[in-house]
């Protein structure tokens, strides 16, 4: 499996299994199937509310000799309601207990947004101003988890260039990873270039267009990425499926990619895309798709517009 080397020397498998929206019973089977097929990287999060079942799948795979813990890379994420520095370890330990692990390989701050402790959002009154809990204070508490051996690497998610700059300036530390939405409708070239220049690894989430998001998170008439004409035509030319093409494109850009599936056939299909080499024509065709669309946004947390604390959330 191709790996990406992070700025702390850690090698992360460039392809992994996403688990957001995966129902509990299905994710347990999906993780077991994926690890059997050859996946070595699972992307989890406290807020997905299925870490226990993800952990059960991992535990069984390790127990039955399918994979060793050292060959498996597990990512998880600190939820917004654990941003107070004194709550960070609690959030991490809840994840570790659910997963049944002593450590995670990579721990990310899920969003640069703080909620009141004990709340899941999305209610306007759940938001805590960044002046009260700056994300740099949260990140410093996450770095302490490395010292305690609870996490091997630390990083962030959903950080824009300006938020990354602020984080680096305030903590003096360059995060190992920024996990963001990336696909041909939202290629974020500027963010990618900045991360490359700073030595920040980038993970592409929702690489297939996140078609199974709850209806409440969808805008009417949103463009389904997997049905895009160019994606379908180029996939046919390359002799692979549209999903495989999107995965190969993400890996070709040097990003880590974590497509979600709970379907055994699609789990295997996605895995085999990780070894596909993209032609120059495929690369340029996907690079030049001229549609801009972001599927995942914090709109539903009343960060609408999308402005947050006086500036655009994504700038």
Residues at the interface with ligand NAP (CB under 6 A): 18-21, 43, 110, 157-158, 179, 205-212, 226, 241, 243, 258-263, 266, 269-270, 296
Nearer to ligand NAP, 133 or 177 (CB): 177
Task: Kindly give the residue spans of alpha helices, DSSP state H, lying in 172-315.
Answer: 189-198, 229-238, 242-252, 264-273, 280-287
CB of 304 to ligand NAP, least distance (A): 18
CA separation for the pair 124, 299 (Å, rounded): 11
Q: 39, 48, 139, 308: which is the annotated catalytic residue?
A: 48
Residue found by looking up tokens 């101003």 in the block: 129
Element (H, E) at 41: strand 41-43
Q: Which residue is nearest to ligand NAP (CB)?
A: 18
Nearer to ligand NAP, 148 or 233 (CB): 233
CB of 19 to ligand NAP, least distance (A): 5
Other CB atoms within 10 Å distance of the CB of residue 124? 10
Nearer to ligand NAP, 64 or 227 (CB): 227
* 103 given a catalytic annotation: no
CA-angle at 119, arms to 181 and 300, nearest 5°:
40
Nearer to ligand NAP, 152 or 183 (CB): 183
The pair of structure tokens assigned to 63 is 């127990």
Element (H, E) at 35: helix 24-37
Q: Which residues contact 265 (CB under 8 A, 6 or more apart)?
A: none
User: Could you list the active site residues?
Assistant: 48
């Amino acid at each position: 499996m191709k790996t990406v080397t992070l700025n702390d020397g850690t090698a992360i498998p460039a392809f992994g299994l996403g688990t957001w929206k995966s129902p509990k019973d299905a994710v347990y089977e999906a993780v077991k199937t994926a690890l059997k097929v050859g996946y070595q990287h699972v992307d989890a999060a406290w807020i997905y509310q299925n870490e226990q079942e993800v952990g059960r799948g991992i535990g069984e795979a390790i127990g039955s000799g399918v994979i060793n813990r050292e060959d498996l890379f597990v990512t998880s994420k600190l939820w917004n309601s654990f941003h107070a520095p004194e709550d960070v370890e609690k959030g991490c330990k809840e994840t570790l207990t659910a997963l049944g692990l002593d450590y995670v390989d990579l721990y990310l701050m899920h969003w640069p947004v703080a909620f009141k402790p004990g709340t899941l959002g999305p209610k306007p009154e759940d938001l805590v101003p960044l002046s009260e809990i700056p994300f740099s204070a949260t990140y410093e508490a996450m770095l302490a988890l490395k010292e305690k051996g609870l996490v091997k690497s630390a990083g962030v998610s959903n950080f824009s260039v300006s938020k990354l700059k602020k984080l680096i300036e305030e903590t003096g530390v360059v995060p190992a990873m920024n996990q963001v939405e990336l696909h041909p409708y939202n290629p974020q070239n500027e963010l990618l270039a900045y991360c490359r220049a700073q030595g920040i690894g980038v993970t592409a989430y929702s690489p297939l267009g996140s078609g199974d998001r709850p209806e409440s998170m969808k805008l009417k008439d949103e463009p389904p990425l997997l049905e895009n004409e160019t994606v379908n035509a180029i996939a046919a030319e390359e002799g692979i499926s549209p999903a495989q093409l999107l995965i190969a494109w993400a890996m070709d850009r040097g990003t880590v990619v974590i497509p979600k599936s709970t379907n055994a056939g699609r789990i295997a299909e996605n895995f085999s895309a990780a070894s596909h080499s993209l032609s120059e024509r495929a690369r340029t065709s996907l690079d030049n798709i001229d549609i801009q669309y972001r599927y995942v946004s914090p709109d539903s947390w009343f960060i609408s517009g999308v402005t947050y604390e006086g500036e655009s959330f994504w700038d």
